């Protein structure tokens, strides 16, 4: 492909999309490149026709595909059918239109939560399809796994090098902070903000013992741009801090409490589910390619996120 890229980012208004927009603005953009950030207002990607229209309008050379129907643990347990169907439609529409419009490369977004439930640790990129996912979110998990199936079949039949990134738990500004539906970090950040404001205790769902690797959205964004430019494999790549940086939910709670300067009580509601107890992922493949990549220290990243929420409370998605 000659000339500079024209990159379409689906899900551009979300947690990761906004982070990519920020790093592109703050220096990652190269001469002549065009970056277009789409949101659901621009097109309903569940519809093939609307997806086609938006590809026709922008004629991208590259796509970063982040759009999805997404939710935290509790929402997934109720609606596996919808998570399966809507995400399969979105993914097929974006991948198929990309192929039709001659897109050179698509980088999609998977998740460590789609990996097999019964597995050895740490998990790595070769293990994604080695067994059934966790019961709580199998609809979402299978839809995401099928992106990798599509990529491999597309490479086999047409030689296209569409690929995917597998982040661990992402957090940062511009997240979905709806307490019922969101992921653990934004949920903690929002609840701590309210607890502080209302002078009440902070109620954490679950025991606090579950283990997670967290990746700051701005770090993930830099890695997405690297994958888009330099990573040539069709097999996906895990984007995460190392195993040595795995934290408990309680560690995360402590960091958020510190980030807000919250002085009240912290209560763990153990009647609520913990979800998967661990999902430890290996970032050995990433380290092989980028041995010197520096992640933002966790407490600093949490502080930035808390500050952002406090400054933008009125406009946050909740």
Question: Residue written as tokens 């041995």?
Answer: 291
Is residue 236 at the binding interface for another protein, with CB under 8 A as the rule? no
In this structure, the strands spanning 6-10 and 62-65 are parallel
The number of angstroms, rounded, from the C-alpha of 200 to the middle of its chain's C-alpha atoms is 31
Q: Kindly tell me which of 40 and 79 has the beta carbon lying closer to another protein.
A: 79
Q: Kindly tell me which of 86 and 219 has the beta carbon lying closer to another protein.
A: 86
Q: Kindly tell me which of 154 and 204 has the beta carbon lying closer to another protein.
A: 154
- The b-or-e profile of 77-92 (16+ CB within 10 A means b, else e) is eebbeebbebbbbbbb
Out of 74, 96, 121, 140, pick the active-site residue: 140
- Minimum distance from CB of 139 to another protein (Å)? 5
Q: Among 144, 147, 124, 148, which residue's Cα sits nearest to residue 134?
A: 144
- Residue 179 CB coordination number (10 Å): 15
Q: Rule CB under 8 A: which of 124-183 touch another protein? A: 129-132, 138-139, 142, 146, 149-150, 152-154, 156-158
51 to 80: interface string for another protein, x by CB under 8 A: ---------------------------xxx
Looking from the CA of 155 toward its CB, the CA atoms found within 13 Å total 15
- Minimum distance from CB of 184 to another protein (Å)? 23
Q: Kindly tell me which of 80 and 163 has the beta carbon lying closer to another protein.
A: 80
**Segment holding 230, helix H or strand E:** helix 217-230
Q: Which two tokens stand for residue 42?
A: 């621009």
248 to 287: interface string for another protein, x by CB under 8 A: ----------------------------------------
- Residue 177 annotated as catalytic: no
Q: Is the peptide bond before 122 cis (omega within 30 degrees of 0)?
A: yes
Residue ranges binding another protein (CB under 8 A): 78-82, 84-85, 88-89, 92, 96, 129-132, 138-139, 142, 146, 149-150, 152-154, 156-158
């Amino acid at each position: 492909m000659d000339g500079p890229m024209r990159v379409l980012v689906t899900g551009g208004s979300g947690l990761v999309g906004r982070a990519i927009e920020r790093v592109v603005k703050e220096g990652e953009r190269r001469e002549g490149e065009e970056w277009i950030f789409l949101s659901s207002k621009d097109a309903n990607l569940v519809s093939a026709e609307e997806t086609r229209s938006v590809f026709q309008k922008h004629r991208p050379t590259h796509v970063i595909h982040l759009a999805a129907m997404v939710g935290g643990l509790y929402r997934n347990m109720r609606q596996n059918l919808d998570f399966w169907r809507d995400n399969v439609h979105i993914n097929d529409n974006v991948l198929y239109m990309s192929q039709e419009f001659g897109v050179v490369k698509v980088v999609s977004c998977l998740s460590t939560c789609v990996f097999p439930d019964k597995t050895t640790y740490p998990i790595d990129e070769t293990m994604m399809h080695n067994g059934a996912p966790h019961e709580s979110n199998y609809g979402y998990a299978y839809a995401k796994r099928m992106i990798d199936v599509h990529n491999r079949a597309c490479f086999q039949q047409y030689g296209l090098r569409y690929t995917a990134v597998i982040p661990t738990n992402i957090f940062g500004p511009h997240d979905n902070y709806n307490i019922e539906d969101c992921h653990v970090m934004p949920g903690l950040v929002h609840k701590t903000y309210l607890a502080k404001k209302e002078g009440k205790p902070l109620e954490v769902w679950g025991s606090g013992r579950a283990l997670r690797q967290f990746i700051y959205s701005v770090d993930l964004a830099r890695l997405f741009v690297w994958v888009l430019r330099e990573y040539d494999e069709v097999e996906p790549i895990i984007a995460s801090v190392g195993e040595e940086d795995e934290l408990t939910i309680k560690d995360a709670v402590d960091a958020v409490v510190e980030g807000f300067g919250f002085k009240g009580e912290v209560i763990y509601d153990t009647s609520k589910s913990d979800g998967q107890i661990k999902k430890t992922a290996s970032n050995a493949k990433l380290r092989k390619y980028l041995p010197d990549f520096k992640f933002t220290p966790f407490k600093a990243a949490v502080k930035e996120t808390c500050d952002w929420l406090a400054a933008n409370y009125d406009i946050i998605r909740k």
